[in-house]
Amino acid sequence: MADEIDHGSEEFADARQEMDQLVYDSLKSKEMKPNAMFARLSDLAKSAKMSRTAVTWARKNSLWPLQFGLACCAIELMDFGSSRIDAERKGYLLFRGTPRQCDVMVVAGWVTKSMVPEIKRLYEQMTEPRYVIAFGECATCGGPWWQSYNIVKGIDEVLHVDVYVAGCPPKPENLFAALMKLQKKVGGSIED
């Protein structure tokens, strides 16, 4: 998907500028005009040239993670959603209980062999496009358990991972950075 968007093109720049202007105006006037905004957005989406840009713009600004945690890093994931970091102010963290409504799966914790079928199944239930963040050492490479008999050495042995986060556990701020990186990737400014 990412390779289809030409970021240097004028169309892209114009569409993005117009969308930003729409949002800016509606915020500035202090009275949201969602109808006008969405009408214009859908116009943009209807035109064949713009549809990719409009969809990408919408997609990258509404990344919904799956409410799913495995181990220690899930506690930091909870902290990420709580008051100090408050990820929801950036639009990231509308934790959903069902994978069918989600875009991002944050694999937070060690992946055991018995969890692999479950994680695969969750991933397959997510609608495309879907993204995976390997959060912490264990999900990245097995972490301290790499010699254990029941551990998968990183979730990337099972799924395609988009962003890796290092740390044991990473600080909640690191997940913020990871999601910003993922946004760039969804927007197409970072290659896979």
Partner 1 sequence: MSVTRINVGPIHPSTHGVIRLVVDVDGDTIVNVEPHAGFLHRGVEKLAETRMYMQIPPYTEKLDYVAPMSYDEAYVAAVEAAMGIEVNEKAKYVRTVLLELQRIASHLLGLGTLCNDIGQMFTVFMWTFKDRDIVLDLLQEATGSRMFYVNMRLGGMHAELPPDFAEHAYNTMNYIEKRVSQYETYVEKNTAFMERMRGIGVLSSEDAKALGVAGPVLRASGVNYDARKHSPYYMYDKFHFNPKVMLTGDNFARYKVRMLEMKESVRIVKAALKAMPEGSCLGMPVKLRSPNPVNRTVSVSRELPRGECMMYLVADPQKPYRLSIRSPNMVNLAAIGHIAKGARFADLFGILGTLDIIMGCVDR
* Six-digit token string for 155: 């979730």
Q: Which is nearer to partner 1, 14 or 117 (CB)?
A: 117
Binding partner 1 by CB under 8 A: which of 110, 131, 135, 164?
110
Query: What is d(CA 59, CA 84) in angstroms, rounded to the nearest whole number?
Result: 26
Which helix (DSSP H) or strand (DSSP E) does residue 131 occupy? strand 131-135
- For helices 48-60 and 34-46, angle between their N-to-C axes, nearest 10 degrees: 130
Only one of the segments 22-30, 54-62, 148-156, 158-166 lies at the binding site for partner 1 (rule: CB under 8 A); that segment is: 148-156
The phi and psi torsions of 165 (rounded to 5 degrees) equal -120, 125
The phi and psi torsions of 66 (rounded to 5 degrees) equal -85, 140
Say whether residue 136 binds partner 1 (CB under 8 A).
Answer: no
Q: Under rule CB under 8 A, which residues in 45-84 are in contact with partner 1?
A: 67-72, 74-76, 78-79, 82-84
Say whether residue 89 binds partner 1 (CB under 8 A).
Answer: no
Say which residue the tokens 């890093």 belong to: 73
Say whether residue 93 binds partner 1 (CB under 8 A).
Answer: no
Say whether residue 147 binds partner 1 (CB under 8 A).
Answer: yes
* Six-digit token string for 42: 């859908």
Say whether residue 112 binds partner 1 (CB under 8 A).
Answer: yes
Only one of the segments 26-34, 110-118, 153-161, 180-188 lies at the binding site for partner 1 (rule: CB under 8 A); that segment is: 110-118
| 3-class secondary structure, 104 | strand
Q: Under rule CB under 8 A, which residues in 21-50 are in contact with partner 1?
A: none
Binding partner 1 by CB under 8 A: which of 9, 47, 150, 189?
150
Q: List the Cα angle 159/135/167 in 5-degree steps.
A: 135
- For helices 172-187 and 72-81, angle between their N-to-C axes, nearest 10 degrees: 80
Say whether residue 157 binds partner 1 (CB under 8 A).
Answer: no
Q: Which is nearer to partner 1, 47 or 97 (CB)?
A: 97
Count CB atoms within 10 A of the CB of residue 135. Answer: 31
How many of the chain's residues bind partner 1 (CB under 8 A)? 32
Interaction site with partner 1 (CB under 8 A):
67-72, 74-76, 78-79, 82-84, 97, 109-110, 112, 114-115, 118, 122, 144-145, 147-151, 168-169, 171
